[in-house]
A and B are shown apart, each in its own frame.
Chain A
Amino acid sequence: MFLRNMGIIPGKAQSGADEGSGASITNLSRRSFVAGSGLFVIGVTLAGCSSYVEPDVDANAFDLPDPGASPLTQVAGGDATPALWIAIEEDGTVKITCHRSEMGQQVWTSMAQIVADELEADWDKVQIVQAEGHERYGDQNTDGSRSVRYNFHRLRIAGAAMRSMLTEAAALFWEMNPAECSAAEGLVSNSQNSDTLSYGNLAELAARLEIPAEDEINLKEPDEWRFINKEIPSLTIPLITRGQGTFGIDVDRPGMVYAVVARPPQVFGRVGSVDDTAALEVPGMLQTVRLRDAKPPALFQPMGGVAVIARNTWAAIQGRNALDIEWIDGPNARYESVSFGEAMKRTARRPGTVRRERGNVQTGMADAAQRIEAEYYAPHLSQSPMEPPSATAQWTGDKLEVWACVQDPQTTRQTIADLLEIDKENITVNATWLGGAFGRKSKPDFAVEAALIAKEVGKPVKVTWTREDEVRHGFYHSASAQRLEAGLDEDGKCTSYLHRTVFPPIASTFSDGMATPTDGEMGLGATDVPFAMPNLRVESGDAKGHLRIGWLRSVSNIYHAFAVQSFAAEMAHAAGRDQKEYLLELIGKARTFDPGDEGATYPNYDASIEDYPIETGRLSNVVEKAADMARWGRNLPEGHGLGIAVHRSFLSYIATVIEAAVSPDGTLTIPGIWLAVDAGTVVNPRHARAQMEGGTIYGLSNALYGEITARNGAVVQDNFPSWRVMRMGEAPREFDVEIIQSNTRPAGIGEPATPPAAPALTNAIFNATGHRIRTLPIIGARGSRLSLPETETA
């Protein structure tokens, strides 16, 4: 590559480069290449792809490289062509495109850390451009704790490729060998003199060089990392502390009107009749629009109903209150979640479909010296991000632009195209900031609503969901019933293990009548159980969906880890053994295994089992670590107990120890939590720790209080506090996180802290009180204390 493009190098005599400053090369470059544009951009930020930092980029400033000319379109993880990700401006500003949705996991910062590290950028000059939804970026579904895992390699390649081109540009300018030039913190220097050239000055020249192939690119060694694995401050938080930044609900368009929607109480319910006379008299009301009825399967359709459009959100809410609607029942009008839970428990008592098998559980149980069994139940949950769903849509002719707090702008775009039967090319979807998501915002029904309503109204429309809408019309975490049985030998060692899990699958939302738990859901904590006993069987039982069932932070791992890790402690108790020692014995010696070898179809979070094997040694290691942090085995005050749970999910290994304190009247407090995580390479330890805290508390909030019930097919809860969540006063006083340092492949961070939280707490409560909790929530929306057997009668 070296000197290949000598032909375009400006004469050195003109440059005044001995000043070592970039000013003259800039002037020269401007004269030579970009008459009058005043902008130098390496790569080109694609038009229309910014929600926040409107890139001040003139795409015509110079010829775009032919995309086919990039040798980096097929890098593992996707296209690593620098121009897709990085734009460098004359003043040195480095604009990095983030194609994942920012929802508090600090993905703006982590994606920028990865690119900027290999690029050797000056961090103070980094700005983020939020990508619109487009296939050119590859997967944008910000879900499944995989933003870093999917993009770590390719973004490093993109950054390193550009660093190499900038370095080469400097070498050309200085007429040196690139090996004599090196880049650091936004400047290229050389080994011959003290001159430096800034990226801003080199960008335009570098853009004309050939992009190196992957095998020509040298990635930095971990010990050379400047930003990766460092506690780099968030790029969003300074804005947040001033009330700046644009969430979905904050979008404003000229001439915009405001809408809320009255939706049928039941899924696939319909509007019978509507009288909007009183509604239209509300000051500020503009009109109502009947939305089309939803039909099974639910997919990401809006649920129909009546849209209420006004000059402001408050007027729309008042208008909706004044509507007189007669609803026609949906097909699930007889769904009662409590009695359905009992039915699921009965299903769990009957033999199910075998999903993984080792040895022979029947003979193992028959030969056992001691047998134990337990049933667990966990209810539906709502994701309830702090920002309810909100979307804004604007039509210009047959072109549609949408701004929404969506986890996947590509799915949003495709869903709108499908449901409105319009060409995807006519749709632009901008992901705003997300005020939390937790899986709710991976379903773009609310963005489709905005598109439909805006079309009817002929003006830009913002649809806001109230909290009541969010709680009542969600895609709920599945309720579940599970049964576990074990046979122990004379020494208390587990020889036989049966786990049967029953829950309506998420697939019921996408395919009407689907009732069999999928391999994906079974692989979230059931078929990948890491226990080593000789006889093991995992079964599933069918259950129909009656609400829209959807993903919620860590998904089926929540109820599976609750049952499996509770049962591990129950086995320890039956054996008269220490919970932690018994857990280590269940896990067994350090090894890797593939559930596929025992009949499971195991997706392993869409990763290959070779790249990301299940390593029991890493599980045991985090157990030991968390136990040490908590000083497991220490003397505790009366009414206190420590509980432990460990779980692998999203390819990360996390053990959590919780101290529970229960007063004689059943009042529960959580003095401390100790968590050890092994997630391979961690891009930002500070933000990873925040996810450990947040994921744990999210799990505890659900376990303590969370319960969505349905009566007559309609959700009963409507807002805080009937849908109760954890508050400041209930949060633990102490929360220690230890990140196991590792340079192995990066794994998930956003979700995996949630699953071990609930069983660590219920195990702690058991150790504090002798009371075993097998039904969630532990306290519920109205409770204030544990109902212990003693206090129940008190």
Chain B
Amino acid sequence: MARTLKINGKDETVDAAPGTPLLWVLRDHLKMTGTKFGCGVAQCGACTVHIDGAPTRSCVLPHDSLEGSEITTIEGVEGPAADAIREVWVENDVPQCGYCQSGQIMAATALLAENSSPTDADIDTAMSGNICRCATYMSIRRAIKEAASRA
């Protein structure tokens, strides 16, 4: 059954089985592979997207519940917070392997959009759902603060 999802401002028609999580619709149906699979059970944050601006785990989010929502992925996230995060991420070489970083950037962007001067505790709360096995945590914390100081 075809449905229309609004992804990165564009209407996309997808024909996926009811209940298929948004993650797999993005990755397999739409070939938008920037959003990553890490656990499938809302534990790692690799699949984080924005639903109407809120960071959300797409691996447990049925796509058929999202008609009418604004879905934003790493490929399309923009605005002052996203720009600032991308800028400091690149300047400081925050990622290592990069696999978790789509999720980290989506989470950090949402944090910064909502809180222009996050404390360590704010960062811990907002980012603890995003696992990084390369352990870029210290870099992420430094970078979020730097992005906040510029915005």
Contacts and interface: CB of A to CB of B under 8 A. Distances in A.
A728 B128 contact: yes
22 contacts: A103-B97, A233-B93, A238-B90, A240-B102, A242-B34, A247-B33, A312-B24, A314-B17, A314-B21, A314-B28, A315-B17, A387-B36, A387-B38, A387-B97, A435-B36, A436-B97, A464-B37, A693-B136, A694-B135, A719-B41, A720-B44, A731-B138
Given A385-B133, A698-B133, A728 B140 contact: yes
B29 interface: yes
A411 interface: no
Contact of A467 (B21, B27, B38, B99): B38
Given A433-B97, A727-B128, A386 B134 contact: yes
Interface in A728-771: 728-729, 731-733, 735
A435 B130 contact: no
Q: Which of B41, B86, B138 has the most CB of A within 10 A?
A: B138
B36 A694 contact: no
Contacts of B29: 312
B132 A386 contact: yes
A249 interface: yes
Interface in B81-129: 85-86, 89-91, 93-102, 105, 120, 123-125, 127-129
Contacts, number: 190
Q: Which of A313, A314, A315, A466 has the most CB of B within 10 A?
A: A314
A106 B95 CA distance: 10
B43 A698 contact: no
Given A314-B24, A696-B135, 15 more contacts: A236-B95, A240-B102, A313-B28, A314-B17, A384-B133, A386-B97, A387-B36, A387-B97, A690-B96, A693-B138, A720-B43, A721-B43, A728-B130, A728-B141, A731-B138
A586 B90 CA distance: 44
Contacts of B73: 243
Given A104-B96, A312-B29, A728 B36 contact: no
Interface string B17-41: 1001100100111011111111111
B98 A435 contact: yes
A258 interface: yes
A258 B28 contact: yes
A438 B133 contact: yes
A732 B142 CA distance: 12
3 closest pairs, A vs B, by CB?
A243-B34, A435-B99, A104-B97
A243 B75 contact: yes
Nearest to B34: A243
Interface residues of B, number: 60
Contact of A245 (B32, B98, B127): B98
Nearest to B96: A104
Nearest to B76: A243
A546 interface: no
Contacts of B35: 243
A720 B130 CA distance: 11
A172 interface: no
A313 B27 contact: yes
A791 B101 CA distance: 38
B99 A247 contact: yes
A415 interface: no
Given A241-B86, A467-B38, A720-B39, A690 B139 contact: yes
Given A249-B37, A720-B39, A434 B127 contact: no
Nearest to B21: A314
B122 to A, nearest CB: 11
A726 interface: yes
Contacts of A332: none
B96 A694 contact: yes
Given A243-B75, A312-B24, A386-B99, A720 B131 contact: yes
Contact of B135 (A241, A250, A283, A698): A698
A684 to B, nearest CB: 9
Interface of B: 16-17, 20-21, 24, 27-29, 31-41, 43-44, 46, 73-75, 85-86, 89-91, 93-102, 105, 120, 123-125, 127-141
Interface in A206-240: 233-234, 236-240
Contacts of A735: 138
A436 B46 CA distance: 13
B136 A386 contact: no
Nearest to B42: A720
Contact of B98 (A240, A252, A438, A720): A240
B138 A732 contact: yes
B50 to A, nearest CB: 13
Given A244-B34, A435-B36, A436-B133, A385 B97 contact: yes
A245 B36 CA distance: 12
B31 to A, nearest CB: 6
A649 interface: no
Given A241-B86, A729-B128, A687 B93 contact: yes
Q: Which of A467, A728, A735 has the most CB of B within 10 A?
A: A728
A732 B35 CA distance: 28
A97 to B, nearest CB: 20
Interface in A677-712: 686-687, 690-691, 693-694, 696-698, 701
A527 interface: no
Interface in A425-451: 433-438
A238 B95 CA distance: 10
B93 to A, nearest CB: 5
Contacts of A314: 16-17, 20-21, 24, 28
A38 interface: no
A726 B135 contact: yes
Contacts of B101: 240-241
A733 B120 contact: yes
B36 A249 contact: yes
Interface string A434-477: 11111000000000000000000000000010110000000000
A725 interface: yes
Given A258-B28, A438-B133, A243 B99 contact: no
Contacts of B95: 104, 234, 236-237, 240-241
Contacts of A729: 124-125, 127-128
Contacts of A315: 17, 20
B99 A385 contact: yes
A284 interface: yes
Contacts of B133: 384-386, 436, 438, 698, 725
Interface in A646-695: 686-687, 690-691, 693-694
B53 to A, nearest CB: 18
A237 B127 contact: no
A283 B41 CA distance: 21
A656 to B, nearest CB: 14
Contacts of A728: 123-124, 127-128, 130, 132, 137, 140-141
Contacts of B39: 467, 719-720
A105 interface: yes
Contact of B96 (A105, A258, A727, A732): A105
